[in-house]
Amino acid sequence: MVLRPLGSTGIQVSPLGLGTVKFGRNEQVKYPSSFEIPDDNAVRDLLALSHELGINLIDPAPAYGNSEQRLGRLLPGSRDEWVIVTKVGETFEKGHSSFDFSASATRESIEQSLRSLRTDYLDVVLIHSHGGDLEILQQEDVLETLRDLQRRGLVRAIGMSSKTVEGGLLVVQECDLVMATCNPDYNDELPVLEAAAKANKGVLVKKGLMSGHVKGAEGVSRSMEFIFSQPGVSSMIAGTINPAHLRSNVAALEAVLGET
């Protein structure tokens, strides 16, 4: 896959990123069927296949169980071959999410992610919104704390996994990139993508395949065609623990982008 610029961050990302929810969490998720969390050998093989297929973007989070710890142990190759996009603000324990956007919680989360991922820097850190995007950005300390960590060199780029149009537009103004929802059945956030393209800010698309609810090869291709016809899209995150699905997703995307 041909790498794409993540806005003006200087970071180059594969147009398909690997989501890792299923590496560490199978409770309170919205996938169409239940699943078992894969063992280390299966995760190691899937990461090696991702690397072989040209994927360099990996998307863990503290809210995804032990996904960061597993990546720290199992990610192949050298650190600079991967773009790690993690998050702050949400944790998941005993079947429930909790949110904390304070300065102290943000710093502690970054420090823990650095330890878990066995790295001395994070490529991208996104604020993991609970839905109150504007409140988080305007009233909490998380954004300014991330800016400080960015100035210190611990984080290369910052943004938010937003949930509202108003929040996404503010993220475009205040941050380096935005993660927004986009798929053929949901286009409410297209103004966010358009604003990001105009401002040369990075765009990561989530729920492009509707958390696994898109059916069949035709549905996947249709979704990818819609997403990558939008302005400014840097990469689409798709989570899987199935090597065949990973191969077919890459093949579909390369066909959509004319890279085959």
Which residues are known catalytic residues?
Answer: 64
The string over 30-49, giving b where at least 16 C-beta atoms fall within 10 Å of a residue's C-beta and e elsewhere, is eeeeeeebbeeebbbebbeb
C-alpha 169/C-alpha 183 separation (Å) is: 18
* Alpha helix stretches (DSSP H) within the chain: 21-24, 40-53, 67-74, 103-117, 133-139, 142-151, 165-174, 190-199, 216-228, 243-257
The strand pairing partners of 17, in sequence order, are 237
Q: What is the DSSP letter of 17?
A: E
What is the C-alpha to C-alpha distance for residues 226 and 224, in angstroms, rounded to an integer? 5
Q: What are phi and psi of 184, to 5 degrees?
A: -60, -25
Q: Which helix (H) or strand (E) holds 85?
A: strand 83-88
Using CA atoms, how far apart are residues 185 and 219, in angstroms rounded to an integer?
Answer: 11
**Cβ neighbours of residue 220 under 8 Å, at least 6 residues apart?**
209, 214, 248, 249, 252
